[in-house]
């Protein structure tokens, strides 16, 4: 059974971002609108990509990211399950069904992108259905649990609704498919150290910028397309 203590560090090993950093995150949402990458990028050649939003957000958060990938030749899809309140039984079942549907549509394995908490969910999917997935990308996702977060108290309110069978310990273990993990030391939501992997088949990419605007970070967008195109 998953315990709340599995999610958050109580030893002091990880430093939780302070609330001044969290305020800067909200400020970045209003002011941080960098131009899209102005470099030649590989074509997605119609590859299917499923994009999951972060905690307490929905597909609207990832709309610009999906539109950018569409312009690069990918076929992108949102998770279509409303607000992401965490790994509830309904959400996990919906995602398994969605992956199977998109796998059939693509005629082969698909790519998964998870923003923040969405990254934990896509990693969970990859362990259960490696034959359906070709690449996993996580954006500021604290999959190396336990973590430290300025959202801990809000997360606690949602925890009673989580699937108790979720295996948090395996989320940081090597994935059965290639993966890419983006992280930023400027993170004001989660401890950045929990967002990268020591898996030799995972490429960790450090960027500058805020957690909440990582979806529109031009460095992230550039490297993401390059990584996903490698699997074509």
| 102 vs 99: CA distance, rounded Å | 5
Residue 108 lies in a domain: yes
Question: What was the pLDDT predicted at 50?
Answer: 98
pTM metric for this prediction: 0.96
CA atoms within 13 A on the CB side of 125: 35
CA distances from 99 to 133, 134, 135, 196 (A): 8, 12, 13, 24
Question: What was the pLDDT predicted at 231?
Answer: 64
- CATH code at position 174: 3.40.50.1820
Residue 195 lies in a domain: yes
Domain count, the chain: 1
Residue 77 φ then ψ, to 5°: -140, 140
Question: What was the pLDDT predicted at 230?
Answer: 81
| Mean pLDDT of each 10-residue bin along the chain, 232 residues long | 85 92 95 89 96 97 96 97 97 97 97 98 96 98 97 95 92 96 98 96 97 97 94 60
Residue 212 lies in a domain: yes
- 35 and 218 Cβ atoms separated by less than 8 Å: yes
Contacts 24+ apart (CB under 8 A), 96-104: 96/125, 96/128, 96/129, 98/50, 99/50, 99/125, 99/129, 99/132, 99/133, 100/129, 100/132, 102/48, 102/50, 102/77, 103/132
Residue 69 lies in a domain: yes
- Residue-number span of the structural domain to which 67 is assigned: 4-32+42-229
Question: What was the pLDDT predicted at 232?
Answer: 55
| 3 vs 5: CA distance, rounded Å | 5
Residue 37 lies in a domain: no
Whether the CA torsion 230, 52, 88, 55 is positive or negative: it is positive
């Amino acid at each position: 059974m998953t315990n709340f203590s599995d999610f958050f560090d109580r030893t002091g090993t990880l430093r939780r971002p302070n609330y001044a950093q969290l305020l800067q995150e909200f400020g970045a949402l209003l002011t941080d609108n960098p131009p899209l990458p102005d470099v030649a990028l590989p074509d997605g050649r119609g590859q299917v990509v499923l994009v999951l939003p972060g905690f307490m957000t929905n597909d609207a958060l990832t709309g610009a990211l999906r539109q950018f990938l569409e312009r690069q030749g990918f076929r992108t899809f949102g998770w279509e399950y409303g607000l992401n309140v965490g790994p509830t039984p309904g959400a996990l079942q919906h995602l398994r069904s969605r992956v199977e549907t998109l796998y059939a549509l693509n005629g082969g394995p698909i790519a998964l992108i998870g923003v923040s908490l969405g990254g934990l969910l896509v990693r969970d999917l990859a362990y259960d259905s490696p034959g359906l997935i070709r690449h996993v990308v996580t954006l500021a996702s604290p999959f190396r649990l336990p973590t430290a977060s300025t959202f801990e108290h809000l997360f606690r309110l949602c925890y009673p609704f989580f699937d108790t069978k979720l295996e948090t310990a395996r989320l940081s273990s090597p994935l059965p498919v290639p993966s890419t993990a983006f992280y930023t030391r400027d993170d004001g939501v989660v401890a950045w150290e929990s967002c990268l992997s020591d898996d030799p088949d995972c490429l960790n990419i450090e960027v500058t910028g805020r957690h909440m605007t990582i979806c529109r970070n031009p460095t992230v967008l550039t490297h993401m397309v390059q990584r996903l195109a490698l699997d074509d």
